[in-house]
Amino acid sequence: MSDETEDERFYGGRGGLRRVLVIACGALAREILSLREGPLGAFDVTCLPAKLHNRPALIPAAVQAKIRAKRADYDEILCLYGDCGTGGELDRVLEAEGVRRIGGPHCYSFYAGEAEFEAMMEEELGTFFLTDFLARHFETLVIEGLGLDRFPQLRDDLFGHYRKLVYLAQTDDEAATAKAEAAAQRLGLAYERRFTGLRGLQDFLSERA
């Protein structure tokens, strides 16, 4: 899945009497797919490009189009997106379409848990967060995406107010952990790793109607 940041993809689940579709951000694809092999049962997954986060105003319409294209094929549709900078517009679309989404403003909060995330922000407001996805794609999404590979002097302008990088780890992946540590060093930030697992995703997907 080296191109998971770019492509819109569909992953068919196992057959069953009740058909459930999960519409998700591409940044969650690997994690959601890992849950299909567990006790949660059959569901299909369709992922929108993670690069939509660069233009969050486009997310609600993209999700709505997917809902309308797939509604007739499924008994239930779920949405695995935070608000992700849409200013509440995604929730307005989902309410109109009768689709439930996972709670929280972004993936950091539903991975860590909203109370835990708020506590971390209280502890150090100047915290930059990484997930497994962001750790794996740090060079592309952060360094190249923000132009730091071409203009390293922008580091102080973009990250000067940060003090710490917290890696919210969904898996015990040594390669991702090494990349997260290297990211903290690259940005000149203190480093901390907190294991979250996938409980937030599991709890949401287990609450299907």
pLDDT tens string 48-104: 998 898 899 999 999 999 999 999 999 999 999 999 999 999 999 999 999 999 999
Q: Has residue 111 got a pLDDT over 90?
A: yes
Which strands, in side-by-side order, build the sheet including 20-25? Answer: 9-11, 44-48, 20-25, 76-80, 100-101
Out of 6-10, 100-104, 162-166, least confident range:
6-10
Where residue 38 falls among pLDDT bands split at 50, 70, 90? low
pLDDT at res. 181: 98
Q: Which of 51, 42, 55 is nearest to 85 (CA)?
A: 55
User: The tokens 């049962």 sit on which residue?
Assistant: 41
> 112-122 pLDDT, tens per residue?
999 999 999 99
Stretch 18-43: mean pLDDT: 86
Q: Has residue 13 got a pLDDT over 60?
A: no
This prediction has a pTM of: 0.84
Q: Which of 121, 195, 118, 187 is nearest to 159 (CA)?
A: 187
> 122-139 pLDDT, tens per residue?
999 999 999 999 999 999
Positions of E strands within the chain: 9-11, 20-25, 44-48, 76-80, 100-101, 127-130, 164-169, 190-195
Catalogue all structural domains in the chain, each as residue range(s) with its CATH number.
9-101 (3.40.50), 108-195 (no CATH)
pLDDT at res. 39: 63
